[in-house]
Amino acid sequence: MATSQESQPAWGKFIGVGVGPGDPELITIKAQRVLQQVPVLCVPKSREEGDSYVLSFVSHLIDLERQALIELVFPMTKDRARLEEHWSAALVKVVAHLREGQDVAFVTEGDPFIYSTFMHIYALVRARYPEAPVEVIPGISSINAAAAAAGLPLVDGAERLAVLPATYEGERLEEVLRQFDTIVLLKVNRVFERVLASLSKLGLAERAVYVKRCGSPEQEIVRDIGELRGQELDYLSLIIVRK
Amino acid sequence: MATSQESQPAWGKFIGVGVGPGDPELITIKAQRVLQQVPVLCVPKSREEGDSYVLSFVSHLIDLERQALIELVFPMTKDRARLEEHWSAALVKVVAHLREGQDVAFVTEGDPFIYSTFMHIYALVRARYPEAPVEVIPGISSINAAAAAAGLPLVDGAERLAVLPATYEGERLEEVLRQFDTIVLLKVNRVFERVLASLSKLGLAERAVYVKRCGSPEQEIVRDIGELRGQELDYLSLIIVRK
């Protein structure tokens, strides 16, 4: 069996590494250690010719003379078939290293299990290569970071928190706004006018705070969200409604 | 005016420091730096004669020869008047240092803005001493840590997440369980049998995972939650329901 073990090394570990919202100090000791140690890192980016946003805030931790970097392209599209092609292509690249016994860290903004591309590759690795060990290192999500930056407590005592994409139609969104104590609306950029209308209708516009690219140098906090009307908003922005 | 400035130093900063769920590696670089630098630390504990749980996982970072440690007692009670007495007593101790120009770090498990005692002292400082600068350093919450440890993605795409104490009565709890894609139930220990009944009724018991003291050496993950029936459960435990 020794021969077979020699020709077939143990699988490397696939590690999802949450690196927080963008402030290089809001990364955990564990994520920092893993990023410095792993032989292979992969980072997502939205266009072949573009740069990876998440790479920009961990590049000081990695050493490309010693570590391999794989840039994985995941276009910003809702076309499921096209996304699946990209997920499959990413899977092939990741698995090639895992199979050779190399640990692969997939770097994700925020937390790996909150609206990340990592989740799809993770699901594929688990389903198709159950022999590969996996690990997920949680990160500071943009939700916790935005609340902290804005000085807005999220939930206390018997309160309830809802987190959802703001892209829901009026009625479904308003139902949640009515029922919960604190509501975090993600992906607000394309539907802002509609969200503002719902908030105003429920008398909640004044209880809402807009946070853009929390933790990064471009961070912006807007407490009078009416000011944002007609502006082009960043896709990395969210609204916290605290009753 | 120089004399007045000398006799009245600038206020110290009140800093809420989230230190994550208990794994000493799941603390951020920023929290670590602040804990090592501040002259005054305060930690909550539930009984005068007891030890602070959160202190046990940051004690390797602090130096009591150089830093002052204030232990603040917050009893586990729902008696609001009694709690308020303790919050006021804590406020007095914190403010005494802030007024002397000393920064005070209030150490909290998980994230400072998710079900923490810190939130109450923070609200009091802001309301009564608006001249005191405040800052909140987000931490890895038990929600993100538990999902990562259990390998359970939280939300993706158009999905919705609800976070609530499990202490709600059947109907209100079941409404949320029906409407959301992922539901995190905190404070499950005292109402577990009732929660299990609701989950079973909705056919969700098999989609539920129980996580105890995530990230600490006592961490436990139970995927067949029926096994927990009749057991005494830890108060630092939660259930993630992922449809």
- Closest chain B CA to residue A169: B158
pLDDT of residue A167: 86
User: Which of A9-23, A26-40, B46-60 is least confident?
Assistant: B46-60
* Interchain contact, A32 vs B29, CB within 8 Å: yes
Would you state the pLDDT for residue A76?
85
Question: How confident is the prediction for chain B on average, in pLDDT?
Answer: 93
- The answer to whether residue A171 scores a pLDDT higher than 90 is no
**Is A122 near chain B, with CB under 8 Å?**
yes
Residues 6+ apart with CB under 8 A from A78: none
The first and second tokens of residue B168, run together, are 């709600």
Put simply, the answer to whether B26 touches A28 (Cβ < 8 Å) is yes
The rounded distance, in Å, linking the Cα atoms of B60 and B38 is 15
For A64-110, write each residue's pLDDT tens digit: 999 999 999 998 888 889 999 999 999 999 999 999 999 999 999 99
Asked if the model's pLDDT at residue A222 lies above 90, the reply is yes
Query: What's the count of helices (H) and strands (E) in chain A, helices before strands?
Result: 8, 10
When pLDDT is cut at 50, 70 and 90, the band that residue B173 belongs to is: very high
Does position B111 have pLDDT exceeding 60, yes or no?
yes
Q: Rounded to 5 degrees, what angle do the CA atoms A239, B169, B20 make?
A: 50
Got the DSSP string for A144-161? HHHHHHHT---B-TT--E
When pLDDT is averaged across residues B189-217 and rounded to a whole number, the result is 94
Per-position DSSP letters for chain B, written without gaps between them = -HHHHHHSPPPPPEEEEE-BSS-GGGSBHHHHHHHHH-SEEEEEESSTTS--HHHHTTGGG--TTTSEEEEEE--S---HHHHHHHHHHHHHHHHHHHHTT--EEEEESB-TTBS-SHHHHHHHHHHH-TTS-EEEE----HHHHHHHHHT---B-TT--EEEEETTS-HHHHHHHHHH-SEEEEES-GGGHHHHHHHHHHTT-GGGEEEEESTTSTT-EEES-GGGGTTPPPPSSEEEEEE-
Question: What is the residue-averaged pLDDT of chain A?
Answer: 93
**pLDDT greater than 50 at residue A1:** no
Structure confidence at residue B2 (pLDDT): 46
Per-position b or e across A98-128, b if 16+ CB within 10 A of its CB: beeebbbbbbbbbbbbbbbbbbbbbebbeee
- Pairing outcome for strands B161-165 and B182-186: parallel
d(CA B236, CA B243): 23
Cross-chain residue pair A29–B33, CB shorter than 8 Å: no
Evaluate whether A13 touches A85 at the Cβ level (below 8 Å). no
Q: What's the N-to-C CA distance of chain B in angstroms?
A: 65
- Matching residue, tokens 């909140």: B136
Which region among B12-21, B125-134, B215-224 has the lowest average model confidence (pLDDT)?
B215-224
Kindly report, residue by residue over B25-52, the tens digit of the pLDDT.
999 999 999 999 999 999 999 898 888 9
**Least confident range of A15-24, A103-112, A161-170, A205-214:** A161-170
Phi, psi of B209 (to 5 degrees): -125, 135
Residue B18 scores a pLDDT above 90:
yes
Answer whether residue B3 shows pLDDT above 80.
no
Higher pLDDT, A197 or B76: A197
* CATH code given to domain A2-137: 3.40.1010.10
> pTM here?
0.94
- Band (B6; pLDDT cuts 50, 70, 90): low
Q: Which of residues 25-84 of A touch B (CB under 8 A)?
A: 25-30, 32-33
Structure tokens at B151: 């390998």
Residues of chain B found within 8 Å of residue A13, distances taken between Cβ atoms: none
A residues 186..225 contacting B (CB < 8 A): none
Contacts of B156 in chain A (CB under 8 A): 115-116, 119-120
Which residue ranges make up each domain of chain B?
A: 2-137, 142-242
Look up tokens 């021969």; give the residue: A3
Listed in sequence order, the residues at least 6 apart from B14 whose beta carbon sits closer than 8 Å to its beta carbon are B94, B98, B103, B104, B106, B122, B125, B132, B133, B134, B135
CA distance B169 to chain A (A): 12
ipTM of the complex: 0.94
Is the minimum CB–CB distance between B18 and chain A shorter than 8 Å? yes
How would residue B1 be classed by pLDDT, with cut points 50, 70 and 90?
Answer: very low
Q: What number does CATH give the domain B142-242? A: 3.30.950.10
Q: Looking at the predicted structure, is the pLDDT value of residue B5 above 70?
A: no
Q: Confidence band (pLDDT; 50, 70, 90) for A7?
A: low
Closest of B95, B112, B107 to residue B45, by C-alpha: B107
Mean of pLDDT values over A50-57: 90
Question: Which residues numbered 123-152 in A keep a CB inside 8 Å of some CB on B?
Answer: 123, 126, 134, 136-141, 144-145, 147-149, 151-152
Task: Kindly report the nearest CA distance between residue A191 and chain B, in angstroms.
Answer: 14
Is a pLDDT exceeding 90 seen at residue A140? yes
Say whether pLDDT at A28 is over 90. Answer: yes
Cβ-contact B222, B169 below 8 angstroms? no
pLDDT of residue B9: 80
Please answer yes or no on whether B136 and A148 come within 8 Å at the CB atom: yes
Q: Which residue of A has its CA nearest to B19?
A: A28
Residue A121 Cα, gap to closest chain B Cα (Å): 12
How distant is the Cα of B28 from the closest Cα of chain A, in angstroms? 4
